[in-house]
Amino acid sequence: VQLQASGGGFVQAGDSLRLSCVASQRTRVAMGWFRQAPGKEREFVAASSWSGAFTRYGDFVKGRFTISTDNAKNAVYLQMNSLKPEDTAVYYCAASPRFGRAESDYVDWGQGTQVTVSS
């Protein structure tokens, strides 16, 4: 499965961004978002089944981010609100044959999109 992520950018603290990821096919069970800040390990952000019936989030999200899917477009989105400087990272979308939160659960990865939040 090929994944194409987009939507990153440079924003101010408190702003919102919506990331998009288009998959070449919907053969995996779940889609997820991870992020990696400079000098840090990649961390789980959110995951969703293609139906949207099952979602899960990283502990740090605390209601600020929402993952959603659009089956007609083979797309998954990450709506990020109330952005903070510590949200600055490269965000990756990924696809998994199981509904997991570990990086090792995901077998297909997009190229990443940079999100920079200025204070």
pLDDT digits (tens, 9 = 90+) for 7-60: 999 999 999 999 999 999 999 999 999 999 999 999 999 999 999 999 999 999
Q: List Cα–Cα distances, 70 to 16, 75, 78, in angstroms.
A: 20, 5, 12
Q: Give Dmax (Cα) for the chain.
A: 40
Q: Can you read off the two tokens belonging to residue 83? A: 């952005």
Specify the pLDDT at position 62: 87
Cα 68–Cα 69–Cα 70 angle in degrees, nearest 5: 140
99 pLDDT more than 90: no
Q: Can you read off the two tokens belonging to residue 13? A: 């603290």
Polymer length of the chain: 119
Residue with the two structure tokens 């000098």: 39
Residue with the two structure tokens 């840090």: 40
102 pLDDT more than 90: yes
- pLDDT tens readout for residues 59-96: 999 899 999 999 999 999 999 999 999 999 999 999 99
Specify the pLDDT at position 37: 96
Q: Reduce the DSSP state of residue 67 to 3 states and report it.
A: strand
